[in-house]
């Protein structure tokens, strides 16, 4: 009878450890995904929208008289 009780106890302890590890991995995965989302928002806010007038601080394009612009 004690061998059966020991097997039950070992199974219960291993199951509890596996549940804790699973929830820990899920928490790390969610934190990682949230970090990617935050980084994307920061990146998108730094970008200039296409078609906007703001040219940023990039190089100036010289104007040549008589050139077709």
CA 60, CA 6: separation in Å to the nearest integer?
78
Q: Which pLDDT value is given to residue 59?
A: 62
pTM here is 0.52
Could you report the per-residue pLDDT of 13-59, keeping only the tens digit for each?
999 999 999 999 999 999 998 888 888 888 887 776 666 666 556 56
Could you tell me which residue, 1 or 42, shows the higher pLDDT? 42
Specify whether the backbone of 50 is left (phi greater than 0), alpha (psi in -120 to 50) or beta.
beta
CA 47, CA 39: separation in Å to the nearest integer?
13
């Amino acid at each position: 009878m004690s061998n059966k009780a020991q097997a039950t106890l070992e199974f219960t302890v291993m199951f509890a450890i596996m549940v804790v590890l699973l929830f820990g991995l899920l928490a790390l995965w969610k934190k990682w995904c949230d970090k990617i989302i935050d980084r994307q928002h920061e990146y998108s806010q730094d970008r200039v929208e296409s078609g906007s007038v703001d040219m940023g601080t990039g190089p100036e394009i010289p104007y040549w008289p008589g050139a077709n612009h």
